[in-house]
Structure 1
Amino acid sequence: MKRLTSIAVILLGALVLGGCAQQSLTGDTYSRREARQVQHVQYAVVDSVRPVVIEGRTDGVVGAGAGAIVGGVAGSTLGGGKGSTITSVLGAVAGGIAGQRIEEATSRRQGQELTLRMDNGELISVVQEVENNQFFRVGDRVRVLRSGATMRVTY
């Protein structure tokens, strides 16, 4: 029975970690909060493109929490008496660290740094996630959508 419970908790932890993916940072994805909001539209030409990596989430508690639970349960199945308590604590700590690292790795994204020459001559730079491995290219004519501090580049 204890083994079955451990397996169930490990599977549950894997499902929770699967939900750690961060919101998309592409130019074509909008949050519910951004829908139906006014955006200022400008046009530009892509001056340069550089591939970058957008770091994964490190501020989430889901990965660390799920990892700690899974590690604690897995650790509790080892040893007996006080040994079981010690392995539970060590398993929880190790699981929490591993869970946080898994969350960061699974939410890391391929991005691109775009330098844009706006129609008014201004030169700006913006970083956004690459969608379907489609990078913008130097010379592309693009739309720049701004709403508050949020900016996105689209065709």
Structure 2
Amino acid sequence: MSRTDRNPDASSPSTELDLTRFLPYRLNNLGGRISQALAVIYRRRFGISIPEWRILVWLNERPVLTAKQLTGLTQMDKVRVSRSVRALESRNLIHRQPSTEDQRQQWLRLTDDARALLAELIPATRRWEAELAATLSEGEHEALLAALNKLEERLDHLVAGESGQD
């Protein structure tokens, strides 16, 4: 298939759309299926939800964040982040500390209990990822990651253009 077949002229009168070849649908579908399958590990073994997992992993990556920052990083709405933060705090997995600059803002950090949980959870998820990716050669795996990076960069450019920031 040529590049023009993948990128038809916007003025084309065709209203057909083959979802099996529509990249946004395929990526969203695959991502959702992967997330749900992986969630079984951390739900059954560790008792945490997908949103809680995302928050824990981001706090592991960046040790101090606000709920607002987590909302942006996780691409979850603020209600879901707030509920997940409360649930994690009730399990002594995160600690809140009020900001000295802005009383509406609270800094979130992992607790020692969370670090112990992640010491088991992260290797388990990495093993699952390796099992999933085992069907790809090392070159295919690297090419896939490179292609995803390119698509993310292009999406950032397109979104910036749509919001007039270009």
Q: Under a length normalisation based on structure 1, what TM-score does the superposition of the two structures give?
A: 0.24
Larger strand percent: 1
Structure of larger gyration radius: 1
Larger RCO (CA under 8 A, 6+ residues apart): 1
Q: Under a length normalisation based on structure 2, what TM-score does the superposition of the two structures give?
A: 0.22
